[in-house]
């Protein structure tokens, strides 16, 4: 893991270390994903079964999870896990209930203008699977959609080698209000939800994280359907002062780094002493962890400790980084929070590890990555809402704006626009 000192190495080197390349621009991956999309669009369920047998399970014989399978899977979940899912689900639901808004209107001079808020009709969720188990991803995507009022939520997820979907994923889906589940993974799942294939219906929007093939497919189908975001590898930035706990800072860097060798982990501080202590602590904590190999490669590729000149520069560098997760390990975290412009999720103080946000705090853990927190937001209720504006005017209201409307229409060369106003006011 590199250490960059702004005084020694320069500001440009620090900024370069904190920027991640976009994982979504890969011509080879896009070409393969495009071929899968076209195949599923042309052959439907036959293509889904063929691709599923090739990539997921050689015994895959049907796409949709039956109600009997779903019942059996849900019943098999042990009580402690059922309780964990229930607690997390309730907290996630409560947080998103607070985001709900209603349609509104305003009136000025005889002109009424407003906005209608309506949930999408059908949403498709992609949940990574196969060898991995991510019930939390089900909750974090499905519950905001449910709170938004989406009447139909479906889920696609890769099956295991024996053709089954992990029981805990199915249980979480049932708790979160998913109505139908399908054993489809990868780019073919995105194709099925975008175009409709076999039993998988076409949806209005696709949400949920995935690998490079899934993201390439989401990018290609955007415009046919909506998508939530293009989520890249996990990342974290820890902003810490001289009084921070080195062991806590190191632990938080490892939380995201253990996801994948492409994950990123950064420490930004203005204390050289802390930088040295955290570097040593990271090495101590990594040793012997089950995913030590993944962690070491991730830290070697996209791990960095940046020593800024002072607190102001450190905060500025954090905003340049625009991380998915930002941990504020400083004496006055709420004061620092007011100066953070770019971050997906901000965790304040010593007792808010990313684990809390990943599972049970309430906000969705589907967050903008790769620096897109500069312009993007976490998945939330409005992800699943569409908005329509509406207008009403009295004759007097229109007359009051006649001069403005006609002047602008004629300036832009649209005489029919001006005539539509004048005709109404001649009577």
Which listed residue (235, 262, 281, 324) is catalytic? 324
Closest CA to 195 of 167, 174, 225: 225
Which listed residue (166, 171, 325, 365) is catalytic? 325
**Displacement of CA 380 from its chain's centroid (Å):** 9
DSSP state, residue 269 = E
- HSE, side-chain direction, 13 A CA sphere, residue 292: 8
DSSP state, residue 308 = -
Closest CA to 318 of 374, 362, 386, 274: 374
Whether the CB-CB separation of 141 and 413 falls below 8 Å is answered with no
Whether the CB-CB separation of 225 and 199 falls below 8 Å is answered with no
Q: Which residues contact 219 (CB under 8 A, 6 or more apart)?
A: 24, 30, 227, 230
Per the listing, tokens 């975290």 go with 333
Whether the CB-CB separation of 37 and 323 falls below 8 Å is answered with no
Q: Please provide the DSSP assignment of 61-82 as one string.
A: --SBPPHHHHHHHHHTS-HHHH
Q: Is residue 313 annotated as part of the catalytic site, yes or no?
A: no
Measured CA to CA, the distance from residue 402 to residue 420 in angstroms comes to 10
Q: Is residue 324 annotated as part of the catalytic site, yes or no?
A: yes
Whether the CB-CB separation of 130 and 194 falls below 8 Å is answered with no
Active site residues: 324-325
């Amino acid at each position: 893991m590199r250490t960059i000192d702004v005084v020694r190495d320069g500001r440009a080197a620090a900024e370069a270390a904190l920027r991640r390349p976009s994982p979504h621009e890969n011509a080879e991956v896009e070409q393969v994903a495009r071929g899968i999309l076209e195949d599923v669009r042309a052959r439907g369920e036959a293509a889904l079964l063929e691709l599923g047998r090739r990539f997921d399970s050689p015994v895959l014989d049907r796409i949709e999870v039956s109600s009997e399978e779903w019942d059996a899977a849900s019943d098999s979940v042990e009580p402690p896990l059922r309780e964990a899912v229930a607690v997390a689900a309730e907290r996630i639901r409560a947080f998103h209930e607070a985001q709900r808004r209603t349609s509104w209107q305003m009136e000025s001079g005889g002109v009424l203008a407003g906005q209608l808020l309506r949930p999408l009709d059908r949403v498709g969720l992609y949940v990574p699977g196969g060898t991995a188990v991510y019930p939390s991803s089900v909750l974090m995507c499905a519950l905001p959609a449910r709170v938004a009022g989406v009447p139909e939520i479906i889920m696609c997820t890769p099956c295991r080698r024996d053709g089954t979907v992990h029981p805990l994923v199915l249980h979480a889906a049932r708790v979160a209000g998913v109505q139908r589940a399908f054993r489809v993974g990868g780019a073919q799942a995105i194709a099925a939800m975008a175009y409709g294939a076999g039993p998988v219906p076409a949806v209005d929007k696709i949400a949920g994280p995935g690998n490079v093939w899934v993201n390439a497919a989401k990018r290609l189908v955007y415009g046919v359907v909506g998508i939530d975001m293009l989520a890249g590898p996990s990342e974290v930035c820890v902003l810490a002062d001289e009084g921070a706990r080195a062991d806590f800072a190191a632990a938080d860097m490892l939380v995201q780094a253990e996801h994948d060798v492409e994950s990123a982990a950064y420490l930004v501080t203005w204390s050289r002493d802390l930088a040295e202590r955290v570097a040593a602590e990271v090495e101590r904590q990594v040793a012997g962890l089950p995913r030590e190999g993944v962690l070491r490669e991730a830290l070697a590729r996209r791990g960095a400790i940046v020593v800024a000149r002072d607190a102001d520069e450190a905060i500025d560098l954090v905003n340049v980084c625009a991380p998915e997760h930002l941990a504020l390990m400083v004496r006055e975290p709420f004061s620092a929070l007011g100066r953070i412009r770019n971050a997906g999720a901000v965790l304040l103080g010593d007792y808010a590890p990313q684990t809390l946000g990943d599972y049970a705090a309430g906000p969705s853990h589907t967050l903008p990555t790769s620096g897109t927190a500069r312009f993007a937001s976490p998945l939330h209720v409005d992800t699943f809402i569409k908005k329509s504006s509406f207008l009403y005017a009295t004759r007097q209201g229109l007359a009051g704006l006649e001069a403005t409307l006609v002047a602008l229409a004629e300036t832009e060369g649209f005489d029919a626009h001006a005539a539509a106003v004048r005709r109404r006011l001649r009577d």
